[in-house]
Amino acid sequence: MGLKGFACGIAFSLFLAQGQAFAGKANDTLVYASDTEPENVSPYHNDAREGVILAHLAWDTLIYRDPQTGEYKPMLATHWQQVDPLTLDFDLRQGVTFHNGDPFTADDVVFTFNYVASPEGKVVTQQNVNWIKSAEKLGEYKVRLHLKQPFPAALEYLANPLPIYPGKYFQKVGLAGFAQKPVGTGPYRIVAVTSGQGVTLERNPDYFKDSPQGQPRIGHIQFRVIPDAETRLAELMTGGIDWAWRVAPDQAEQLKAAPNLTVESGASMRIGFLSMDAQGASSPDSPFAKAEVRQAVNYAINRKAIASQLMGGGSQPLQVACYPEQFGCDAKAVPGYPYDPAKAKALLKAAGYPNGFSTEIFAYRDRDVVEALIGDLRAVGIDAKLRYLKYAALRDQQRAGKVPMAFLAWGSFSIADASAATGVYFKGNADDVAKDPQVIDWLKVADTAMDPAVRKENYRKALQRIAEQAYWAPVFNYSINYAFTSDLAFQPYPDELPRFALAHWN
């Protein structure tokens, strides 16, 4: 929708809303909407940001990271100790119950970690769990975690994408049953999962009193799947929903004039990038198997224009395969690709494509960004035709080697360590489009070395190699625009995790 059309839409919505109170506060129900539905509500079995949000509402982790200070605090574990580089011991909190009434004990922690560390677990993002060897019960409320190798970022992961499941219940219902009727210990319990529509949650009245995030204050939460951005904004304006994000910069600016709405924005650690089929798996003569072609793509992209005009706010052009604020992500060590269409054309000619070539570009979000990228590529002779899929379908196609080029986004599960970004995509796993042995070796050292200086040096070498070979074309880090009813007290954080459990009505 253009600016004029959007302005008319706002005026019409305001007219409709004049005699209508925002329903959320009146019903003590926060309704939030997003464009993407997690393929499975089980946190270990999806890697969508919407799934991360639900995970932090319905489940707890052993450790809590304070979003204000970054300090690790006791959650389901009251104390932890690094016994040696391969061993972590945890004392567990007593008196906690799962949503179905089962008591939380060491058996649940042992089951969870042994399950997700096994092939049977089929965890979508292996980097989150593949450092775990096993868990051992030392007592009713004491657990020992064995690591496959030293993993200095262990606490960061334990505080984020590693929630604890109810062992007996999960084994009884299986993954399919758990996806429909999930159970956790978190501040909210999931009461309904409706495919294609969303998830309904209600406040957990038995949430443990000493939780570091306090008690939830909003009675009911509903997550609605609304793929179309214009529909989400119309629902927001008329009180159908209370909260939306990923609002386009021009629309966010105009929403600031709307009564009863608050607009917040800020940089996030989510990055957007083009992934290219460096192994040539998508076709026998894939142009992207040639480094010159991948380098040409990097020179063809006007990162600065895309970041400033389409993202706005705190978005910055990106040249490195991670978020610069993550540990080990040294953006200064990476040779950049300034916007240079003439150089891109020269590289294509040197690679044997003087007239360019045609390809497909896959995407699942940010159509306006992808269209801008397509325009930049077309200007140097690369005719990229868009294939727009749901995220899970795109990911599966790419892992099957059927995607020549894709625009992707990654939020690192809010983990402030390069292992959660570079390590996910370049360590030889299913999402690695390069399978570069040198990069893999450097990242294995970087992810496991206990000496921070050794970690930084190996990340630096890996990131330099990734940039020189142009396995990716990093584009920008996201700036997120949030729009929500002024009845809601909500604070966004750079890790792109909306903490609705900390929100309340004004």
CA distance 117 to 338: 42
User: Quick check: 451 pLDDT over 80?
Assistant: yes
Q: With the CA atoms of 345, 348, 353 and 359 taken in that order, what torsion angle do they form, in degrees rounded to the nearest 10?
A: -100
Written as one letter, the residue type at 407 is: F
pLDDT of 312 reads 86
pLDDT of 9 reads 53
Sketch out the chain's domains with CATH numbers: 23-241+486-503 (3.40.190.10), 267-477 (3.10.105.10)
Provide the pLDDT confidence category of residue 21 given band limits of 50, 70 and 90. Answer: very low
pLDDT of 313 reads 84
Average pLDDT score, the chain = 93
Average the pLDDT over 225-235 and give the result. Answer: 93
**Residue among 198, 193, 186 nearest 58 (CA):** 186
CA distance 480 to 295: 29
Element (H, E) at 255: helix 249-255
Q: Which residue has the higher pLDDT, 322 or 7?
A: 322
**For 52-103, how does the pLDDT look when each residue is reduced to its tens digit (9 = 90+)?**
999 999 999 999 999 999 999 999 999 999 999 999 999 999 999 999 999 9
Average the pLDDT over 413-425 and give the result. Answer: 94
**Cβ neighbours for 159, distance < 8 A, ≥ 6 positions apart:** 61, 62, 63, 64, 65, 72, 75
Written as one letter, the residue type at 50 is: E
User: Quick check: 394 pLDDT over 50?
Assistant: yes
pLDDT of 22 reads 43
Provide the pLDDT confidence category of residue 23 given band limits of 50, 70 and 90. Answer: low
Strand partners, 225: 34
Average the pLDDT over 312-335 and give the result. Answer: 93
> What is the distance, to the nearest Å, from the Cα of residue 291 to the centroid of all Cα atoms in its chain?
28
Q: Which residue has the higher pLDDT, 9 or 291?
A: 291
pLDDT of 17 reads 42
User: For the chain, what percent of residues have pLDDT higher than 90?
Assistant: 90
Helix (H/G/I), strand (E/B), else coil: 140:
coil
Whole-Å CA distances, 43 to 184, 371, 435, 441, 500? 11, 31, 27, 29, 17
pLDDT of 16 reads 42
pLDDT of 335 reads 82
Helical ranges in 181-228 per DSSP H: none
